[in-house]
Structure 1
């Protein structure tokens, strides 16, 4: 399914021009118009999924496999020393376009790109209880 009012659906399906890096039947890989660093790419699904919760496992496998190929190509071209793969779900997590997509962000020593969080602490008993509770849903 595609959404008529979704800009990423239009880009992914070639209705809006983009700096396309690669394309598969399921995805289009483009360079981000507002990159964190040069070489910042986006992997867009051609079908519309609002977020990872709607993504089927087969498509997810293809997207994540594609991310490894894109990461290697970005590293080869940019000479980056590291790389972040970021995928946000929901506004509270930083998702601004409600179409599943993945960021491939090359990183260099001293860049000012921020992909961080404050590390929390937990007790081993509560960690085990949470792990057991999550297992019930898998």
Structure 2
């Protein structure tokens, strides 16, 4: 896809990213955006490429809204097998949604995390951020 070796339904190409329809789009207009450089997941992403990817995602989302009928839109980016990442090259799905589409809900109806579990996780995330986690180059 990045090198033009496969037939593609490309909609955008910049110096840093490519946006195209996947072979089996989930809905009409479903577009994937990938960095041209191989990056396996979000934890390997540098800040500049993240900005380029975010800019392309916004441009594509606006174009989809102007071009195809929709009732909503999902932006989906998965990392690791447990999160359903099956292609280990970072990619963002921009998926136009319609009330009657085949995708259905993507979130569980309810979860069973206690308030203590949620507070503990919040505290650990805040502490990690205070120590520099989330900065470019941090593990």
TM-score by length of 1: 0.84
CA deviation vs aligned residue, 1:58-117 (integer Å, no higher than 9, x gap): 001110111011001111111211100101111111001100111000000121214523
Aligned to 2:54, the other structure's residue is in SS state helix
Give ranges in structure 1 of 5+ residues lacking alignment: 1-10
Cross-structure match for 1:3: none
- The Cα of 1:23 is off from its aligned counterpart by 0.6
Q: Distance in 2 between matches of 1:66 and 1:112?
A: 26
Query: In the alignment, is residue 133 of structure 1 matched against residue 123 of structure 2?
Result: no
Q: How does 1:19-98 map to 2 (within 5 A)?
A: 19-98=9-88
Number of residue pairs matched by the alignment: 128
Aligned to 2:11, the other structure's residue is in SS state strand
Q: Distance in 2 between matches of 1:128 and 1:84?
A: 25
- The Cα of 1:54 is off from its aligned counterpart by 0.8
Q: Distance in 2 between matches of 1:102 and 1:31?
A: 11
- The Cα of 1:12 is off from its aligned counterpart by 1.6
Cross-structure match for 1:123: 115
Aligned to 2:75, the other structure's residue is in SS state strand
Give the root-mean-square deviation of aligned CA atoms.
1.6
